[in-house]
Amino acid sequence: MIKHLKPAVILFVILTVLTGVIYPAVVTGLAHLLFPNQAGGSLITNSEGKSTGSRLIGQPFSNPGHFWGRPSATGPFPYNAGASSGSNLGPTNPALVDAVKARVQALKAADPDNKAPVPVDLITASGSGLDPHISPAAADYQVNRVAKARNMDPQKISDLIDANTESRQWWLLGEPRVNVLTLNLALDAIH
């Protein structure tokens, strides 16, 4: 029995060190060497060098002078990267219907003059609950509210949205999108 157990234990230890220590260390080292920004979390820093957030994780904005992102279904607080998940509520679930109705009402209350249909990404959470992007339509929907709150020309804000709209990846994958954090930082920089 020991004759069979000894090679199994030795192989277990070798594979554990190889796949649990050496391989992750090499991959992490290469990532930091070849892609330092992405490996570091794609952090955005302000002029003082202080981190203001990540390009990869949404943040809650509630000030009417800022653009608002997608709702987050993470708990116990919104955009909790340690608890990434969707709401898991189906389209016929009354709780989801009530949540969507409440979000529509909140958006209409924040901008009562806006009679346009509310874009779906402003009232539904993403699968991860951490999505940092909104569609250009969702950004356009918020232009008048942000312009009023900041006493700015709406066209200037629309131009800022255009400047901060990311195109499809490799001109093929995904949809055009706007990173809410970078858009709000650009907005704060000019006003």
Closest CA relative to residue 182, chosen from 81, 80, 72, 59? 59
Q: pLDDT averaged over the chain?
A: 91
| Strand extents, DSSP E, 42-168 | 43-45, 51-54, 133-134, 165-166
- The DSSP element (H or E) to which 12 belongs, if any, is helix 2-17
When pLDDT is averaged across residues 22-27 and rounded to a whole number, the result is: 97
Residue 28: count of CB within 10 angstroms of its CB: 11
Quote the pLDDT of residue 20.
96
Give Cα 84 to chain centroid, integer Å: 11
When pLDDT is averaged across residues 165-177 and rounded to a whole number, the result is: 91
- Packing angle of the helix pair 154-163, 143-150 (nearest 10 deg): 120
What sign does the dihedral 10-12-17-18 (CA atoms) show? positive
- Give yes or no for residue 22 having a pLDDT over 90: yes
Query: Which pLDDT tens digit goes with each residue over 50-60?
Result: 888 888 889 99
Query: Which pLDDT tens digit goes with each residue over 46-104?
Result: 777 888 888 888 999 999 999 999 998 888 888 888 888 777 888 899 998 999 999 99
Both tokens assigned to 134 = 């909104």
Quote the pLDDT of residue 121.
94
Quote the pLDDT of residue 177.
96
Quote the pLDDT of residue 154.
96
